Chain A
């Protein structure tokens, strides 16, 4: 990184640290923080979408749909999430390969589960056998996102369902009195207004989502926990930058990163709440109206 980094063993302390903290593996470590942010940025809308579908299913009057929603929400919420985080990627991966196997090799005569092996034909492998490394990385990451979206979708569904129920009934009745259909009333009255009721629950789920991101490590993705362990471990003099066991300091850094994330999002949600309360038929909205009038 810097021109003076050619021989780190003779450098004074501050230069040694400047070189150490900017070497190639550290840059990968910093990139891993970006991966966390990307995961959050993709998972949050995905979970919101899943949650919206789940909440609609919970509201539905068609009973198979309603049961599907009930089952989804209650099963995911009743079991430790970590079970789902490890279950969904494997189960989904095997499911996809099984479907591909049925499509590509219909005349395969051996069983797929032979003892402890899961064997599909060569064409059915996902990602393909000769796929480059980055495709495999994206695939693994996509599986992780799916698992996160499934689990958090159930939480969001529950929150949104509650929020939809919380929109004052009188407003929906007024809409129907104006001749709107059930669907129109939902789209024009309930959907825009439910967010203010959903926000406290959603902000809670967001905080939990942030705190769930280190579990990526368990899915075998090279995330910040992986790099903190790798970089922090003791390095002998064989390495360019020998140092004793520094894992504690790396994990302290991760703690600070997460504390900052939760602190910042708490503030952001407080502002969003003020924004959404404007003109609402809630105590906060009423207070803002009075403040503006005075």
Chain B
């Protein structure tokens, strides 16, 4: 029995383009505030992905790093073993697309993903850049999703996944939904520090790993959330 919660950040050297570190820091802070000891593991793309982690994070990146990241993850196999063991995963933007069967490369060419989520992505007509707000699937019991998206991807969801949310503002998957989940895997286009804007999503990942959690002071999280949601939803 290991004593601390192991948070594994996959390939920060390739896939950490915009504030992705924020998700790691938020999970760490929210676990530590509850007295849960945390171990953070940064896995460079030249190193094997450990399969004994509790929560895995993978972030966004440019086209070439995305293709390299997918190749390395497929060759490595560590993430697949970890998911089979019951670990949870938050995959963001380029990392989200990698989890599917296929995504669009530099010239829009199809590139094979690693098949952990039943989704397929391609390159859209135009870049979606801006604030996003969305109502989360009721089964997860989470408040409105808020964040920032910046991508050209269009993602089709297969029957093996459930949409994470329905968009109020923004593009998301491109069909009125944003992100998806299956088992303990969550994928989203909300890049960078999505968990800073959605602490309840961070707590969901923590609960999947350690069980029920006590309340903590969310003053600064709530003030930021309210300001951002007001900015995009109020006329």
Decide whether A and B are members of one complex: no
Q: Which residues does B use to contact A, with CB under 8 Å?
A: none
Q: Which residues does A use to contact B, with CB under 8 Å?
A: none
